[in-house]
Amino acid sequence: MNERAKFIHALKGLAFICFNGKKCDNKMHDVVISGAGPAGSKCAEVLASAGYKVALIEKDVNWRKPCGGGVSARIMKKYYPQLKKLNPVIKYGAIMFSGDYSKLEYKFKGRGEGSIVMDRLELDNLMRSVAVEAGAELFDKNISFDFVYRNQKIIGIKTKTPSGMKEYLGKLIVIADGMSSKLAVKSGLRGKWKITDLGMAKCAIMEGRSNLEKDMIYIYFRPYKGYGWIFPIDDNRYNIGCGTFEEANHDHNLNEIYEEFLNAPYIKEYFPEHSYKEIWKASYPLSAIGVLEKSLIGENIMLIGDAAGFVSPISGEGIHPGIVSGQIAAETAVKALKAGVISKKTLKPYKQHPNIKKIIRNFKLKHSLVEFFYMNNGKNLNTMFKLAENDEEFKRQVINMFFFNAAPSEEFLTRVRTSTLSIFTYFFHIISFQIIP
């Protein structure tokens, strides 16, 4: 058994270090976190490392979140150097097609600039294991459904477990249990998502022979709002899927889009003689409007990750912004706990942090860019691709906007402003209102 296999085997045993909740009844923690995904696990790790008692609640550590699984290699190295134990394949390039099959191929110049694609079950369990090693208590098979109240104040979380209802009490409550979080709505910090706030995606992990370059990622934009992808995971597995926006689904059924994508000639050419088998498949909703800036904090509550909308409106990627939100929320909480005061005032630095403001600003721009790209049945996107074909810097900016949550640079904006192409009129309007130099 090689080192990677040994490590994965250890991660599969993660459930054995989880508790079923019996030990936690009426036990006061400093912080209770609902949701052990990237945001919740990072938050738990930082708090536990600072010496605080953390209850990290998860519905099922063996659940694989539906996701493309792509994220910046540089970002993961920064936040999770332990990832090297899984020996992920770094993707050093991207191939993208617009709706009219205009093609962009780009090789990342720096060896640290690439992206990685992970099986989310392996990735999430690695993050949980890091939090547990830091001292957090992980409680598996706990479905959060309500709060514990005392004198009309939230003091904990109620969960359903195989052995009955449990209560987890804490000075601070962190909600990190995804975009469908019941607690986020019950807290009053945000309402239910509107249908126009959502996207839908369907993906599968396939296994078998292919003609894919394993160090490349493949993206296929559609004339309507959405795109398909093929992300090689390793030599024998790849994540394949497609996503669209809910309003687009009125005219385009997601299952039909997925089947059409899977059977398209430009996809089949990578898989000779249908030489693959489907080992897992799922559909999932995602937030498509960006961060809910006004909904991040309450008197003793914080929202992080997907629950707060930390998902790129242009790509649907939420791992990186989720980790950042968890890290900054935890750092804010540490200061509040040290001061001995948990309140909106002491939690406010979380939403005011420069990196959180940067993400919010960036996602506002990208939400507008989606509207721009798909005007005229995607013709603006086609034109952007054609412009990028002969301009490496322009191409790099387009790639970075999509894959690495980057905003266009000042130099890029200057080039756009000097263009005489009429399609940028709307683009100028977006830039002038959304980008702060």
Q: State yes or no: pLDDT of 12 exceeds 70.
A: no
Does 371 or 221 have the greater pLDDT score?
221
Lowest mean pLDDT among 7-11, 59-63, 114-118: 7-11
Between β-strands 164-175 and 153-161, what pairing exists: parallel, antiparallel or unpaired?
A: antiparallel
Residue with tokens 């690439």: 114
Q: What pLDDT digit, counting tens, does each position of 173-200 carry?
A: 999 999 999 999 999 999 998 888 888 8
Collect all residues with Cβ–Cβ distance below 8 Å to 256 and sequence separation of at least 6: none
Report the alpha-carbon angle 385-355-324, nearest 5: 90
Over range 3-20, report the average pLDDT.
Answer: 54
Average pLDDT over residues 106-132: 87
Q: What is the pLDDT of residue 408?
A: 66
The pLDDT value recorded for residue 10 is: 55
7: confidence class by pLDDT, cuts 50, 70, 90: low
- Out of 170-184, 204-218, 422-436, which region has the weakest mean confidence (pLDDT)? 422-436
Distance of alpha carbon 78 from the chain centroid: 16
Residue of 314, 422, 311 lying closest to 373 (CA atoms): 314
Q: Return the percentage of the chain with pLDDT > 90, whole number.
A: 48
Q: Is the pLDDT of residue 172 over 80?
A: yes
Q: What angle do CA 204, 185, 168 make, to 5 degrees?
A: 90
pLDDT band, very low/low/confident/very high, at 234 (cuts 50, 70, 90)? confident
pLDDT digits (tens, 9 = 90+) for 69-109: 888 888 889 999 999 888 888 888 888 888 888 888 888 76
Average pLDDT along the chain: 85
The two tokens of residue 36 are 């052990």
The per-residue pLDDT for 430 is 47
**CA gap 313, 378 in Å, rounded:** 16
Q: Could you give the strand order of the β-sheet that contains 226-232, starting from the edge strand earlier in sequence?
A: 103-107, 93-97, 216-221, 226-232, 237-245, 198-208, 276-287
Q: ∠109-112-115 over CA atoms, to 5°?
A: 90
Residue 432 pLDDT > 70 = no
Average pLDDT over residues 140-151: 97
3-state secondary structure of 3: helix
**Token digits for 377?**
């049945």
What pLDDT sits at residue 436?
Answer: 34
pLDDT of 383 reads 78
Higher pLDDT, residue 423 or 244: 244
The pLDDT value recorded for residue 412 is 63
pLDDT above 70 covers a percentage of the chain that reads 84
**DSSP readout, 265-333?**
HHHHTTSGGG-EEEEEEEEEEEE-S---GGGSB-SSEEE-GGGGT-S-TTT---HHHHHHHHHHHHHHH
Looking at per-residue confidence, does 98 or 223 come out higher?
A: 98
pLDDT score at 414:
60
* Strand, helix or coil for residue 421: coil
Q: What is the pLDDT of residues 409-429, one digit of tens each?
A: 766 656 555 553 444 454 444
Q: How many CA atoms lie within 13 A of 219 on its CB side?
A: 22
CB atoms within 10 A of CB 264: 12
Give burial (CB, 10 Å; 0-12/13-18/19+) of 235: exposed
Query: Is residue 351 over pLDDT 50?
Result: yes
Q: Please give the domain boundaries of the chain with CATH numbers for all domains.
A: 3-65+120-193+290-360 (3.50.50.60), 86-116+195-287 (3.30.9.10), 366-434 (no CATH)
CA 435, CA 135: separation in Å to the nearest integer? 40
Gap between the Cα atoms of 298 and 88, Å rounded = 38
If we measure between CA atoms, which residue out of 177, 215, 160 comes closest to residue 65?
A: 177
- For residues 128 and 39, the answer to whether their CB atoms sit within 8 Å is no
Check residues 226 and 326 and name the one with the higher pLDDT.
326
Question: Can you tell me which residue has the tokens 């050093």?
Answer: 92
Most confident of the following: 25-34, 234-243, 300-309? 300-309
Token output for 282: 């799922």
Q: At what angle do helices 354-373 and 424-434 cross, to 10 degrees?
A: 160
Count CB atoms within 10 A of the CB of residue 195.
11
Other beta carbons within 10 angstroms of residue 62's beta carbon come to 12
What is the pLDDT, as a whole number, of residue 74?
Answer: 85
Q: What pLDDT, on a 0 to 100 scale, did the predictor assign at position 406?
A: 74
Q: Which helix (H) or strand (E) holds 29?
A: strand 28-34
More confident residue, 133 or 199: 133
Q: Which amino acid is at 131?
A: A
Please tell me the predicted confidence (pLDDT) of residue 2: 61
Reported as a single tens digit per residue, the pLDDT across 272-294 is 777 789 999 999 888 888 898 88
List b or e across 168-188, with b for residues whose CB sees 16 or more CB atoms inside 10 angstroms: bbbbbbbbbbbbebbbbeebe
Closest-CA residue to 322 (of 359, 347, 349): 359
Reading the block at residue 398, the tokens are 């387009």
Alpha carbon distance 115, 121 (integer Å): 18
